[in-house]
Amino acid sequence: MSATTEKAAMNPVYRKRLMTHRIGIALSVLGMAIGLIVLAWILITLAVKGFGALSLHMFTQTTPAPGSEGGGLMNAIVGSLMIVTLSTLISTPIGILAGIYLAEYGNENKVASVTRFVTDIMLSAPSIVIGMFVWAMYVATAKHYSGYAGSIALALIAVPVVVRTTDNMLRLVPNSLLEAAFALGAPRWKVAMMVRLRAVKAGVITGVLLAVARISGETAPLLFTALNNQFFSADMNAPMANLPVVIYGFAMSPYDNWRELAWGGALLVTFSVLALNIISRTLFAQKAPN
């Protein structure tokens, strides 16, 4: 150890900062360890209780009536797929176009600033509030629950996620690339769509997948909009079964087979969301363009 290092080590200010640094690192590692332990606990419990409910009947039979044996989650699985798919088809073009607008004109007018502010509010808004809003605007007017109402509620949750992701990704495109496109005489809309968006398309797809993962397990909005349906139905203009609401109802029931199906449904939703997150962070991972 050199004389300079020894002198610095004896400095009380240096020793105090070093101690603070070590305490901060220790607390960070402890917090990370606690989070990982809790996450592992949840996943292990879910796997132990959920895998026992996985069977062919769960995917081929509808939800059982109260007190009956057997049954499955076919109607809830199909209903969730239809609702989430429609909400994705609604939210993706709206979110991407809004994100392009914010990236292109975000620093030029107050409308873009207001749009970004409203988007941030919607990102933090409780999902149950969005469900109540759709219920008041759509369900109460139509006087019946429906899969369409559920899709609208989930789309309102997904749109701000896609908007912010698209906006942030487009801002990573270097100005030199845009200037080169403008120098060739390309209009601004073509530069935005054909150059800027194409350069970060993987990041935008990641945002869409994260939005799908975000809405796949939402329960509160669907309680106010799609409600539930014990029978199989592909009619989006009527109450429709969906996994989150079925899990919520079955988990609190006094019937053993209902609770078992709830664990199976929870496992299915959890691993589906996990798969979407893994896909979005691996296959479509993209760094800032050079």
pLDDT, tens digit (0-9, with 9 covering 90-100), for 127-185: 999 999 999 999 999 999 999 999 999 999 999 999 999 999 998 888 888 888 888 88
Looking at residue 55, what DSSP letter applies?
S
In angstroms, rounded to a whole number, what is the distance separating the alpha carbons of residues 240 and 18?
59
User: What confidence category does residue 265 fall into, taking pLDDT thresholds of 50, 70 and 90?
Assistant: very high
CB 214 within 8 A of CB 124: no
- DSSP notation for 124-184: HS-HHHHHHHHIIIIIHHHTS--HHHHHHHHHHHHHHHHHHHHHHHHTTS-HHHHHHHHHT
CA separation, residue 179 to residues 55, 175, 183, 186 (Å):
57, 6, 6, 10
Place of tokens 């369900």: 139
Q: Which one is predicted more confidently, 226 or 289?
A: 226
pLDDT at residue number 289: 45
CB 146 within 8 A of CB 233: no
Measure the CA dihedral 201/202/208/210, to 10°: -150
pLDDT digits (tens, 9 = 90+) for 14-31: 788 888 889 999 999 999
pTM of the model: 0.86
pLDDT at residue number 288: 43
pLDDT at residue number 114: 86
CB 204 within 8 A of CB 166: yes
pLDDT above 70 as % of the chain? 94
Mean pLDDT of 107-130: 86
Mean pLDDT of 51-62: 88
User: What confidence category does residue 104 fall into, taking pLDDT thresholds of 50, 70 and 90?
Assistant: confident
CA separation, residue 276 to residues 79, 89, 261 (Å):
19, 17, 23
Average pLDDT for the chain:
88
pLDDT above 90 as % of the chain? 49
pLDDT at residue number 136: 94
